[in-house]
C-alpha cells in the first residue's frame, strides 16, 4: 500500500514541482510581506473590555487583534490567549481590559521585510500571527500562517486546488456492521 501511495503522491506532486521550478522557492520567500496584500488591521485600544474585543474577533472571524496604546502597537490578543489565559478564569468580561490578558510587546515586522522572516518568527517562536507595523511602529495589518501558505500556494494554485479531496488508498474502505 505504501508503494501505491508513493506513486499517487508523485503523480500529483510532479505538476506542482514543475510549476514551482519556474520560480525559485528562494525568490518566493524573499518577496516583501506587502506582496501578500494583507487586509488592514482591526485595532482595539488597550483599555477595551474583553467582551468587546472577543465580540469583534467572533463577528469578523479573526484569530488575532492588535492592541494599541497611543496609536502604537502595545500587544496582540489571540485565540490562544483566550484558551490559555481566560478559560476557567473568574472575571467580569465587561470591565476587564484586554491589556490584562494580551501578549504584551509582541515581535513584529514591517511590510517591506521578506516573507521568510515572518515564517522564521512563526516557526521559531511558535506564533500563528505576526503584527505588521509601519516604520513608526503603528500597526497596519496582521500576517497569519494561513496568509503565508496561501501566498506560497498561489504560485501553483491550479495544481493545489485540483488535488482530490482525499488521497486514494487501497484497502481503506470502511467495513459495515
Tens digits of per-residue pLDDT, 47-89?
999 999 999 999 999 999 999 999 999 999 999 998 887 777 7
* Residue 176 DSSP class: P
Report the C-alpha gap between 80 and 103 in whole angstroms: 10
C-alpha cell at 118: 515572518
**In the chain, what are the domains?**
21-161 (3.10.580.10)
What pLDDT is attached to residue 147?
A: 93
Give the containing element (helix H, strand E) for 64: strand 64-69
pTM here?
0.76
Report the C-alpha gap between 146 and 82 in whole angstroms: 20
Q: How far from 86 is each of 37, 39, 50, CA to CA, in Å?
A: 32, 27, 10
What pLDDT is attached to residue 128?
A: 93
The DSSP bridge partners found for residue 103 are 76
The DSSP bridge partners found for residue 43 are 66
What pLDDT is attached to residue 137?
A: 87
What pLDDT is attached to residue 9?
A: 54
Low-confidence ranges of the chain (pLDDT < 70): 1-23, 157-164, 167-177
What pLDDT is attached to residue 17?
A: 57
What pLDDT is attached to residue 88?
A: 73
Amino acid at each position: 500500500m505504501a508503494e501505491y501511495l508513493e506513486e499517487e503522491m508523485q503523480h500529483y506532486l510532479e505538476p506542482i514541482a514543475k510549476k514551482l521550478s519556474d520560480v525559485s522557492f528562494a525568490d518566493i520567500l524573499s518577496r516583501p510581506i506587502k506582496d501578500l496584500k494583507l487586509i488592514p488591521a482591526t485595532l482595539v485600544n488597550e483599555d477595551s473590555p474583553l467582551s468587546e474585543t472577543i465580540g469583534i474577533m467572533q463577528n469578523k472571524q479573526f484569530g488575532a487583534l492588535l492592541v494599541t496604546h497611543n496609536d502604537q502597537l502595545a500587544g496582540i490578543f489571540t485565540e490562544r490567549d483566550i484558551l490559555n489565559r481566560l478559560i476557567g478564569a473568574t472575571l467580569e468580561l465587561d470591565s476587564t481590559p484586554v491589556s490584562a490578558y494580551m501578549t504584551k510587546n509582541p515581535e513584529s515586522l514591517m511590510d517591506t521585510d521578506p516573507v521568510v522572516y515572518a515564517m522564521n518568527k512563526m516557526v521559531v517562536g511558535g506564533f500563528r500571527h505576526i503584527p505588521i507595523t509601519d516604520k513608526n511602529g503603528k500597526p497596519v495589518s496582521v500576517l497569519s500562517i494561513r496568509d503565508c501558505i496561501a501566498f506560497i500556494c498561489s504560485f501553483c494554485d491550479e495544481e493545489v486546488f485540483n488535488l482530490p479531496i482525499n488521497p486514494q488508498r487501497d484497502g481503506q474502505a470502511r467495513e459495515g456492521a
